[in-house]
């Protein structure tokens, strides 16, 4: 996601490229997106350090 | 020379963190959309706990299972949900991490990879998918 650093540690709700809402509480973020008319937004939790490469596998 | 046909194509960002694709999980009336990474090293599909919460699932009511990881054991709970990727959907038992601090979403072997056929051209960021039938 572009601008990931701005939202590090937060949940963001997206509709395509559009950022609908963001915050620390996933349900509030989803509800705010729904209030804007998007029933099933893409919900992404931005890592605390989004710029770091991932070794993966938890 | 064997050949495989695919019905879906997905473009992901090459050279960016992992191979991800959008996933819908649904249970009853609720549905969530998230980004998950293809993980051939994962035995099962594992998702962030908050997605279970958004589906109104009682996480601890699921099947308790421990998973081995590079840094030790993690606990998760299995739930039967509908999983949809690129328009292909089926019912699978997927697992939600007990620890809400784990923010990984993984499409692993049982419940996803074993239900599909998959092709990758990572250099071009292209993923091909078809149901296994």
Q: How many CA atoms lie within 13 A of B122 on its CB side?
A: 7
For chain B, counts of helices (H) and of strands (E): 1, 10
Asked if the interface predicted TM-score (ipTM) of this complex is over 0.85, the answer is no
CB contact under 8 A, B48 and A45: yes
The chain-wide mean pLDDT, for chain B, equals 93
Q: Compute the nearest-CA separation of A57 from chain B (Å).
A: 7
Give contacts of B106 with chain A, Cβ < 8 Å: 57-58
Phi first, then psi, for residue B104 (nearest 5°) are: -125, 145
Question: pLDDT tens for residues B84-126?
Answer: 999 999 999 999 999 999 989 999 999 999 999 999 999 999 9
Q: Compute the nearest-CA separation of B28 from chain A (Å).
A: 14
Phi first, then psi, for residue B66 (nearest 5°) are: -105, 140
pLDDT of B15 reads 62
The one-digit pLDDT tens for each residue of chain A (58 residues) are: 556 678 999 999 999 999 999 999 999 999 999 999 999 999 999 988 766 666 555 5
Query: Of B24, B31, B39, which has the smallest distance from its Cβ to A57's Cβ?
Result: B39
Give me the sheet containing B116-121, strands edge to edge. B8-11, B126-131, B116-121
- Which residue shows structure tokens 């949900």? B81
Q: Is A47 on the interface with B (CB under 8 A)?
A: yes
């Amino acid at each position: 996601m572009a601008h990931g650093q701005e939202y590090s540690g937060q949940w963001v709700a997206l509709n395509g490229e559009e950022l609908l809402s963001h915050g620390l509480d996933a349900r509030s973020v989803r509800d705010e997106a729904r209030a804007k008319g998007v029933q099933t937004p893409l919900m992404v939790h931005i890592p605390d350090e989004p710029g770091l490469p991932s070794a993966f596998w938890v | 020379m064997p050949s495989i046909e695919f019905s879906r194509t997905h473009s992901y960002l090459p050279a960016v963190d992992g191979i991800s694709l959008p996933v819908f999980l649904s249970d009853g009336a609720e549905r969530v959309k998230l980004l998950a990474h293809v993980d051939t090293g994962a035995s099962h599909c594992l998702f962030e706990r908050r997605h279970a919460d958004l589906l109104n699932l009682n996480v601890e009511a699921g099947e308790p299972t421990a998973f081995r990881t590079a840094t030790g054991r993690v606990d998760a709970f299995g739930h039967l949900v509908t999983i949809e990727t690129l328009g292909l959907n089926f019912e699978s038992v997927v697992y939600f991490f007990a620890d809400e601090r784990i923010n990984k979403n993984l499409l692993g072997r049982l419940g996803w990879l074993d239900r599909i056929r998959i092709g990758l051209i990572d250099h071009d960021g292209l993923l091909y998918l078809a149901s296994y039938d």
